[in-house]
Amino acid sequence: MSDELRKKAAEMLLNGATLLSEPCPYCKGVRVMKEGQALCTKCGRKPEKREIIVEEKEEKTPLIDTLEKKLEELSKELEQEKDHDKQQSILKSINSILEMKEKIK
């Protein structure tokens, strides 16, 4: 451990930092953490921040496919409709289909 890293780690510990039980992912050295920032006392590296992307897979069933097609049709119909009462009727149908999709999931 270099003198500079040793001094920085000691300063962090004196200011309330804690030693981590998990070793450095790069060199397996001891790490010190303060305010969410971890510092390796051996190599001085900080772990890379990575975004974890979780994809939700929606099971497609024939019923869901049918409902989605109906939603597309109703959306197109709604765009073309000028009569307010008919628009409201279409919107109610769309809402019913969306509620049905949620129940199926």
Nearest to 45 by CA among 63, 29, 21: 29
Residue 102 has pLDDT above 90, yes or no: no
What would the pLDDT profile of 39-82 be if each residue is shown by its tens digit? 888 888 776 655 656 666 666 788 889 999 999 999 999 999 99
d(CA 57, CA 24): 34
Task: Give me 11's structure tokens.
Answer: 């300063």
What would the pLDDT profile of 7-49 be if each residue is shown by its tens digit? 888 888 898 988 888 888 888 888 888 888 888 888 887 766 5
Domain limits, the chain? 3-40, 62-104
Report strand pairing: 37-40 vs 31-34.
antiparallel
Q: What is the mean pLDDT of the chain?
A: 84
d(CA 31, CA 21): 8
